[in-house]
Amino acid sequence: MKKVLLLILFLTTSLSAQTPKVKYWLDPEGKEIKEKDIDIISEQYPDNAMAYRKTIDSGIVYQFNAPKYSTYKVDYKFVKAEIEKITNQKYSNSAIFMIKFDYLDDSCDGLFSNTIDNEKINSIKYYDGPIKLKLEQKSNLIYLSFFENKIILKNKPTSKNDYFFSDQNHFFRNNLFLHPTICGSFGLIKPNGETLIRNGAYRIDLMFEHLTSEIWNLFFQQ
Protein backbone atom coordinates (compact mmCIF):
# COMPACT_ATOMS: atom_id res chain seq x y z
CA MET A 1 0.00 0.00 0.00
CA LYS A 2 2.83 2.33 0.90
CA LYS A 3 4.47 1.73 -2.49
CA VAL A 4 1.18 2.46 -4.26
CA LEU A 5 0.80 5.76 -2.39
CA LEU A 6 4.37 6.74 -3.22
CA LEU A 7 3.78 5.93 -6.89
CA ILE A 8 0.60 8.02 -6.97
CA LEU A 9 2.41 10.90 -5.31
CA PHE A 10 5.27 10.65 -7.81
CA LEU A 11 2.92 10.61 -10.79
CA THR A 12 0.92 13.55 -9.43
CA THR A 13 4.07 15.58 -8.87
CA SER A 14 5.41 14.71 -12.33
CA LEU A 15 2.16 15.66 -14.03
CA SER A 16 2.05 18.94 -12.10
CA ALA A 17 5.59 19.78 -13.13
CA GLN A 18 4.75 19.07 -16.77
CA THR A 19 1.56 21.16 -16.78
CA PRO A 20 2.30 24.36 -18.69
CA LYS A 21 1.53 27.64 -17.00
CA VAL A 22 -1.54 29.49 -18.19
CA LYS A 23 -0.57 32.58 -20.19
CA TYR A 24 -2.70 35.65 -20.78
CA TRP A 25 -1.90 38.32 -23.37
CA LEU A 26 -3.30 41.83 -22.96
CA ASP A 27 -3.05 45.11 -24.82
CA PRO A 28 -2.28 48.34 -22.85
CA GLU A 29 -5.97 48.84 -22.03
CA GLY A 30 -6.33 45.33 -20.62
CA LYS A 31 -8.15 43.80 -23.59
CA GLU A 32 -7.20 40.17 -24.18
CA ILE A 33 -5.31 39.47 -27.40
CA LYS A 34 -3.87 36.38 -29.05
CA GLU A 35 -0.18 35.60 -28.81
CA LYS A 36 0.14 35.80 -32.61
CA ASP A 37 -0.95 39.48 -32.46
CA ILE A 38 1.96 40.56 -30.24
CA ASP A 39 3.98 42.03 -33.11
CA ILE A 40 0.97 44.02 -34.30
CA ILE A 41 0.36 45.44 -30.81
CA SER A 42 4.04 46.32 -30.36
CA GLU A 43 3.93 48.33 -33.59
CA GLN A 44 0.76 50.10 -32.49
CA TYR A 45 2.33 51.08 -29.14
CA PRO A 46 6.02 51.81 -29.89
CA ASP A 47 6.46 53.66 -26.57
CA ASN A 48 5.43 50.62 -24.53
CA ALA A 49 7.29 47.50 -23.40
CA MET A 50 5.85 44.11 -22.50
CA ALA A 51 5.44 43.79 -18.74
CA TYR A 52 4.54 40.55 -17.00
CA ARG A 53 3.08 39.49 -13.68
CA LYS A 54 1.96 36.30 -11.97
CA THR A 55 -1.70 35.49 -11.40
CA ILE A 56 -3.45 33.75 -8.52
CA ASP A 57 -3.55 30.51 -10.53
CA SER A 58 0.24 30.76 -11.05
CA GLY A 59 -0.28 31.76 -14.65
CA ILE A 60 1.44 34.75 -16.20
CA VAL A 61 -0.09 37.91 -17.65
CA TYR A 62 1.83 39.62 -20.45
CA GLN A 63 0.74 43.19 -21.13
CA PHE A 64 2.12 46.09 -23.16
CA ASN A 65 1.66 48.56 -20.33
CA ALA A 66 5.22 49.30 -19.19
CA PRO A 67 6.92 52.47 -20.43
CA LYS A 68 9.74 51.77 -22.86
CA TYR A 69 11.67 54.69 -21.34
CA SER A 70 11.67 56.37 -17.93
CA THR A 71 13.84 59.24 -16.71
CA TYR A 72 14.95 60.13 -13.18
CA LYS A 73 17.21 62.59 -11.40
CA VAL A 74 18.99 60.72 -8.61
CA ASP A 75 21.53 61.45 -5.91
CA TYR A 76 24.58 60.09 -7.74
CA LYS A 77 26.78 59.77 -4.66
CA PHE A 78 24.11 57.80 -2.82
CA VAL A 79 23.44 55.49 -5.78
CA LYS A 80 27.17 54.98 -6.35
CA ALA A 81 27.56 54.05 -2.68
CA GLU A 82 24.82 51.42 -3.09
CA ILE A 83 26.56 50.02 -6.16
CA GLU A 84 29.83 49.85 -4.24
CA LYS A 85 28.09 47.94 -1.43
CA ILE A 86 26.72 45.39 -3.88
CA THR A 87 29.92 44.93 -5.86
CA ASN A 88 32.42 45.47 -3.05
CA GLN A 89 34.36 47.74 -5.41
CA LYS A 90 35.23 51.43 -5.47
CA TYR A 91 34.51 53.58 -8.52
CA SER A 92 35.52 57.01 -9.76
CA ASN A 93 33.15 59.93 -9.22
CA SER A 94 33.17 60.37 -13.00
CA ALA A 95 31.96 56.83 -13.69
CA ILE A 96 28.89 56.37 -15.85
CA PHE A 97 27.04 53.24 -14.77
CA MET A 98 25.21 51.01 -17.22
CA ILE A 99 23.15 48.41 -15.39
CA LYS A 100 21.42 45.44 -16.99
CA PHE A 101 18.64 44.34 -14.64
CA ASP A 102 16.90 40.96 -14.84
CA TYR A 103 13.64 40.27 -13.01
CA LEU A 104 12.35 37.32 -11.04
CA ASP A 105 10.22 34.84 -13.05
CA ASP A 106 11.31 36.22 -16.41
CA SER A 107 10.67 33.86 -19.32
CA CYS A 108 12.80 35.57 -21.94
CA ASP A 109 12.79 32.99 -24.76
CA GLY A 110 13.41 30.29 -22.17
CA LEU A 111 16.99 31.53 -21.71
CA PHE A 112 16.53 32.79 -18.19
CA SER A 113 15.24 31.20 -15.03
CA ASN A 114 15.31 31.96 -11.33
CA THR A 115 18.58 30.06 -11.11
CA ILE A 116 21.50 31.44 -13.08
CA ASP A 117 24.20 28.79 -13.09
CA ASN A 118 27.79 29.15 -14.26
CA GLU A 119 26.95 27.76 -17.69
CA LYS A 120 24.40 30.50 -18.29
CA ILE A 121 26.72 33.15 -16.89
CA ASN A 122 29.53 32.05 -19.17
CA SER A 123 27.16 32.02 -22.12
CA ILE A 124 26.09 35.61 -21.42
CA LYS A 125 29.70 36.68 -20.93
CA TYR A 126 30.65 35.11 -24.25
CA TYR A 127 28.40 37.59 -26.07
CA ASP A 128 28.47 40.59 -23.72
CA GLY A 129 32.07 40.45 -22.52
CA PRO A 130 33.85 41.74 -25.65
CA ILE A 131 31.35 44.60 -26.06
CA LYS A 132 31.60 45.48 -22.36
CA LEU A 133 35.41 45.60 -22.56
CA LYS A 134 35.42 47.72 -25.71
CA LEU A 135 32.98 50.30 -24.31
CA GLU A 136 34.71 50.53 -20.94
CA GLN A 137 38.10 51.04 -22.59
CA LYS A 138 36.95 54.03 -24.61
CA SER A 139 34.83 55.76 -21.96
CA ASN A 140 34.12 56.15 -18.24
CA LEU A 141 31.47 53.45 -18.51
CA ILE A 142 31.10 50.75 -15.85
CA TYR A 143 28.87 47.90 -17.02
CA LEU A 144 27.17 45.73 -14.37
CA SER A 145 24.56 43.00 -14.50
CA PHE A 146 22.15 42.97 -11.54
CA PHE A 147 19.52 40.36 -10.76
CA GLU A 148 16.42 40.77 -8.65
CA ASN A 149 16.62 39.31 -5.18
CA LYS A 150 15.55 35.63 -4.94
CA ILE A 151 17.18 34.86 -8.29
CA ILE A 152 19.91 32.40 -7.39
CA LEU A 153 23.33 33.25 -8.79
CA LYS A 154 25.76 30.35 -8.86
CA ASN A 155 28.84 32.49 -9.49
CA LYS A 156 31.18 33.82 -6.81
CA PRO A 157 31.73 37.52 -7.57
CA THR A 158 35.06 37.94 -5.83
CA SER A 159 37.18 39.39 -8.65
CA LYS A 160 37.09 42.69 -10.51
CA ASN A 161 36.40 40.75 -13.71
CA ASP A 162 33.03 39.52 -12.49
CA TYR A 163 30.03 41.77 -13.01
CA PHE A 164 27.04 39.60 -12.04
CA PHE A 165 25.46 40.60 -8.73
CA SER A 166 22.25 40.20 -6.74
CA ASP A 167 20.18 43.23 -5.78
CA GLN A 168 19.93 41.76 -2.30
CA ASN A 169 18.38 44.76 -0.56
CA HIS A 170 15.91 45.50 -3.39
CA PHE A 171 17.40 48.99 -3.77
CA PHE A 172 17.42 49.07 -7.56
CA ARG A 173 14.23 47.07 -7.96
CA ASN A 174 12.32 49.47 -5.67
CA ASN A 175 13.81 52.73 -6.93
CA LEU A 176 14.72 52.48 -10.61
CA PHE A 177 13.64 49.20 -12.18
CA LEU A 178 9.98 49.40 -11.34
CA HIS A 179 8.42 47.50 -14.24
CA PRO A 180 9.24 43.79 -14.66
CA THR A 181 9.55 43.41 -18.41
CA ILE A 182 10.42 40.49 -20.65
CA CYS A 183 14.21 40.19 -21.13
CA GLY A 184 14.92 42.75 -18.43
CA SER A 185 15.81 46.44 -18.48
CA PHE A 186 18.80 48.70 -18.97
CA GLY A 187 19.77 51.76 -16.95
CA LEU A 188 22.29 54.56 -17.52
CA ILE A 189 23.32 56.70 -14.55
CA LYS A 190 25.47 59.78 -15.15
CA PRO A 191 27.52 61.67 -12.51
CA ASN A 192 25.09 64.62 -12.67
CA GLY A 193 22.32 62.28 -11.51
CA GLU A 194 20.49 62.04 -14.82
CA THR A 195 19.25 58.48 -15.17
CA LEU A 196 17.66 56.80 -18.17
CA ILE A 197 15.85 53.46 -17.94
CA ARG A 198 14.93 51.40 -21.00
CA ASN A 199 12.62 48.43 -20.52
CA GLY A 200 12.61 45.34 -22.70
CA ALA A 201 15.10 43.36 -24.77
CA TYR A 202 17.99 45.48 -26.01
CA ARG A 203 21.72 45.48 -26.77
CA ILE A 204 24.59 46.94 -24.75
CA ASP A 205 26.09 48.86 -27.67
CA LEU A 206 22.73 50.39 -28.63
CA MET A 207 22.12 51.47 -25.04
CA PHE A 208 25.57 53.05 -25.00
CA GLU A 209 24.62 55.19 -28.00
CA HIS A 210 22.02 56.93 -25.83
CA LEU A 211 24.91 58.77 -24.17
CA THR A 212 25.54 60.83 -27.31
CA SER A 213 24.31 64.37 -26.76
CA GLU A 214 21.92 64.16 -29.73
CA ILE A 215 20.00 61.30 -28.11
CA TRP A 216 20.51 62.12 -24.44
CA ASN A 217 19.18 65.67 -24.83
CA LEU A 218 15.95 64.31 -26.26
CA PHE A 219 15.25 62.88 -22.81
CA PHE A 220 16.93 65.56 -20.68
CA GLN A 221 16.40 69.04 -22.03
CA GLN A 222 19.18 71.39 -20.97
Asked if residue 38 has pLDDT above 50, the reply is yes
Average pLDDT over the chain reads: 88
Asked if residue 8 has pLDDT above 60, the reply is no
Reference 151, options 108, 198, 89; nearest CA is: 108
Structural domains for the chain: 2-66 (no CATH), 69-219 (3.40.30)
Q: Tell me the mean pLDDT in the region 149-158.
A: 82
Asked if residue 216 has pLDDT above 90, the reply is yes
Contact assessment for residue 63 and residue 33, using Cβ atoms and an 8 Å cutoff: no
- The whole-number pLDDT of residue 159 equals 66
- The whole-number pLDDT of residue 109 equals 67
Q: Tell me the mean pLDDT in the region 140-169.
A: 88
Interatomic CA distance for residues 48 and 66, integer angstroms: 6
Residue 186, SS3 per DSSP? strand
- The whole-number pLDDT of residue 6 equals 41
- The whole-number pLDDT of residue 158 equals 60
